[in-house]
């Protein structure tokens, strides 16, 4: 899994997709997930890392992560691999 290289993300969570002209604001957890995606981490690696940081089960986190990844794909923010 990888984010598109042209996606601009500020430290405060402002995301801009120059391909579509759309912009979004992310919460701190989403920013962490985006950074892990930019590092090239897999879905399962992200789940393990995030559930080690926060008090949430892997199954609950994976459900939320899948929803978030679907939104990223829907807004053309994920690279086609």
What pTM did the predictor assign? 0.87
Contact 15, 9 (CB under 8 A): yes
What's the pLDDT band for 79 if we cut at 50, 70, 90?
confident
* Distance set, CA 21 to CA 2, 15, 56, 69, 70 (Å): 20, 10, 34, 19, 19
Query: Where in the chain are the domains?
Result: 8-74
pLDDT recorded at residue 81: 63
- pLDDT (tens digit, 9 = 90+) per residue, 29-71? 999 999 999 899 999 999 999 999 999 999 999 999 999 999 9
pLDDT recorded at residue 38: 87
Please name every residue paired with 78 in a beta bridge, in sequence order, or none if there are none: 3
């Amino acid at each position: 899994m990888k984010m598109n290289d042209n996606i601009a993300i500020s430290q405060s969570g402002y995301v801009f997709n120059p391909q579509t002209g759309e912009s979004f604001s992310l919460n701190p957890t989403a920013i962490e997930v985006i950074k892990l995606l930019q590092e090239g981490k897999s879905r399962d690696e992200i789940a393990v890392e995030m559930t080690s940081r926060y008090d949430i089960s892997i199954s609950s986190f994976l459900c939320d992560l899948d929803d978030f990844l679907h939104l990223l794909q829907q807004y053309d923010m994920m690279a086609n691999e």
